Homo-oligomer: A and B are copies of this chain.
């Protein structure tokens, strides 16, 4: 595959509300989406936009911080938060033009894919690759939204 845009880094948090306050009040973020539930993946989610270019005012196209909070007691991030009670870096996510082609390529390289391809937080198909096959990084692969939005 050809390396795609680093769409977001995923940050696990025990409280999205506290994390939003941190990114707004400590880090100075001005563009933060409303949190929403993603029950199929067991998380609540919101995105913090970062500027693409230091000199520009636009927040478009910068890599996003994805804040993820457990949705319920079955959330797949509960284990991570048990080990990291204050939260922390959880995964990275790269874009690809076509999810089926990317899945075939990773499978062809013998990389372990975690579960089926499914719809992610941006509304496009995604899958996760096992961190043990990705140098310790839980890696999400997502199909680029067709409208070019985040």
Measured CA separation A26–B65 after assembly (Å): 24
Taken together as a complex, chains A and B put the C-alpha atoms of A9 and B62 apart, in Å, by 13
| Closest chain B residue to A59, Cβ basis | B3
Residue picked from A94, A134, A136, A148, most chain B C-beta under 10 Å:
A136
Are B3's CB and A27's CB within 8 A? yes
Q: Which residues of B sit under 8 angstroms from A62, Cβ to Cβ?
A: 5-6, 63
* CA gap between A95 and B52 in the complex, in Å: 11
How many positions in chain A have a CB within 8 Å of any CB in the partner chain?
Answer: 49
The answer to whether A51 touches B5, judged by C-beta atoms less than 8 angstroms apart, is yes
B2:A54 contact, CB within 8 angstroms = no
User: Is A51 touching B4 in the complex (CB atoms < 8 A)?
Assistant: yes
Decide if A87 is an interface residue (CB 8 Å cutoff): yes
A9–B87 CA distance with the chains assembled, in angstroms: 16
| Given A5-B53, A88-B137, 5 further pairs, Cβ under 8 A | A4-B50, A11-B135, A22-B134, A54-B97, A89-B92
The interface of chain A, by Cβ under 8 A from chain B, is 1-6, 9, 11, 13, 18-19, 22-23, 26-30, 48, 50-55, 61-63, 65, 84, 86-89, 92, 94-95, 97, 106, 109, 111, 131-132, 134-137, 144, 148
